[in-house]
Amino acid sequence: MEKIIDINKLVRPNVLALKAYSSARDEYTSVGSKMIFLDANENPNETGVNRYPDPQQRKLKAKLSEIKNIPTKNILLGNGSDEVLDLIYRAFCEPGLDNIITLPPTYGMYNVLAGINNVESREVLLTEDFEPNIEEIFKNVDSNTKLIFLCSPNNPTGNSFSRDNIAEILEKSEGLVVLDEAYIDFSEQVSWIEELDKYPNLIITQTLSKAYGMAGIRLGICYASEEIIAVLNKIKPPYNVNELTQNRAQYRLQNISEVNSEIADILSQREVLSKALLEVIFIEKIYRSDANFVLVKVDDALKRYDQLLNKGVVIRNRTNQPLCENTLRLTIGTKEENLKLIEVLKSLD
């Protein structure tokens, strides 16, 4: 059965009433033709970046569309996933009225953005095996629940949620479900992009910050129905993805085999590291990871964190996250970095 969702009922009334700002660069598809561009008050002298960037990032979207096998009309790009997530809040959540659901332990930005946007965040803990607690989630959902955030593979636990659980949440929810796939390229699971047609309430976010090795350029990606993308397009700053970012991203995506071989390397390093961690006496548990990091439980997280820091290795202490007492999150580094990490871990007393 196809799910039916009236997006207009979920959009904030002021956003629904908005007309998108039309920028000078919107009106003509590209600079560089024989036209003389005297429309945007730019400096005409060539610096490589003297022109405003394409507000719709057409070339970059075309490349992504090809790689991810999804039409460009279902793609929106932002200044990192952080901007994409913020746009989703601003489009759908009325401050002081609407609420969202997050499933700790998870990515901290969902709650930071809820706070910034003055939107109530209802936290429903994952189960002991780090799966969504569906019964509890829907006890917390009401008619003002606009978004449910799922992160799969989840940060910091590293596991992917079961597909049945994700499907059940999508089916039961009358609001939108934001599925954060920041780590999907490291995962054995396939992306939910292929399911977008089936679930008009699904918004998927991805990023070039992790597997694609481009955290520095800030490029976040949103895949959703044409209707949802149109709403987000109305409120996005016209030039939110700068020219340098668009160019670097396109260049990297043209060399997708390089990206894939780096991913394969990181995954094989994850296995090497996970095995070596078994021999570290104060590590009590190594959680199964579907991402480019490993969560481990130790005897005393703060003590081990400080010891590593003193030896020049910076990791993430997650002990204050619910269900994560005495855990540390280790990002997979290069082969040499991982060897060093293991050497240091084994030397600690």
Amino acid at 6: D
Nearest to 182 by CA among 160, 162, 166: 160
Please tell me the distance from the alpha carbon of residue 131 to that of residue 125, in angstroms, as a whole number: 9
Among the listed residues 74, 81, 173, 245, the single contact to ligand PLP using CB under 6 A? 81
Q: Does 80 bind ligand PLP (CB under 6 A)?
A: yes
Q: How far is the CB of 159 from ligand PLP (least distance, A)?
A: 13
Please give the structure tokens belonging to residue 165.
């659980």
Please tell me the distance from the alpha carbon of residue 69 to that of residue 207, in angstroms, as a whole number: 16
Degrees, nearest 5: CA angle 273-279-280? 90
245 or 269: whose CB is closer to ligand PLP? 245
Q: Does 74 bind ligand PLP (CB under 6 A)?
A: no
User: Which residues share a beta bridge with 322?
Assistant: none
Q: Does 185 bind ligand PLP (CB under 6 A)?
A: no
Residue list 97-116, contact with ligand PLP (CB under 6 A)? 107
Q: How far is the CB of 80 from ligand PLP (least distance, A)?
A: 3
Among the listed residues 49, 116, 215, 256, the single contact to ligand PLP using CB under 6 A? 215
91 or 291: whose CB is closer to ligand PLP? 291
Q: How far is the CB of 81 from ligand PLP (least distance, A)?
A: 3
Among the listed residues 11, 182, 235, 277, the single contact to ligand PLP using CB under 6 A? 182
Nearest to 220 by CA among 94, 347, 324, 83: 83
Residue list 228-257, contact with ligand PLP (CB under 6 A)? none
Please give the structure tokens belonging to residue 225.
């129905």
Among the listed residues 155, 225, 240, 338, the single contact to ligand PLP using CB under 6 A? 155
The one-character DSSP state at 159 is P
218 backbone φψ class: left, alpha, beta (φ>0; ψ -120 to 50): left
Please tell me the distance from the alpha carbon of residue 341 to that of residue 305, in angstroms, as a whole number: 12
**DSSP-assigned letters across all residues of 245-282:** HHHHHHHHHHTHHHHHHHHHHHHHHHHHHHHHHTT-TT
Amino acid at 207: T
Q: Does 136 bind ligand PLP (CB under 6 A)?
A: no
Among the listed residues 91, 151, 330, 332, the single contact to ligand PLP using CB under 6 A? 151
Q: How far is the CB of 289 from ligand PLP (least distance, A)?
A: 13
Among the listed residues 220, 228, 277, 327, the single contact to ligand PLP using CB under 6 A? 220
Main-chain dihedrals φ then ψ at residue 150, nearest 5 degrees: -115, 135
Main-chain dihedrals φ then ψ at residue 269, nearest 5 degrees: -65, -35
Amino acid at 215: A
* Piece of 5-13, 76-84, 89-97, 274-282 that binds ligand PLP (CB under 6 A): 76-84
Which secondary-structure segment (H or E) carries 297?
strand 293-298
160 or 280: whose CB is closer to ligand PLP? 160
- Name the packing angle between helices 256-277 and 335-347 (round to 10°): 20
Q: Does 287 bind ligand PLP (CB under 6 A)?
A: no
Among the listed residues 26, 31, 42, 82, the single contact to ligand PLP using CB under 6 A? 82
Count of positions on this chain that bind ligand PLP (CB under 6 A): 13
Q: How far is the CB of 246 from ligand PLP (least distance, A)?
A: 15
52 or 186: whose CB is closer to ligand PLP? 186
Contact between 123 and 321 under an 8 Å Cβ cutoff? The reply is: no
Q: Does 184 bind ligand PLP (CB under 6 A)?
A: no
Residues that bind ligand PLP (CB under 6 A): 80-82, 107, 151, 155, 180, 182, 207, 209-210, 215, 220
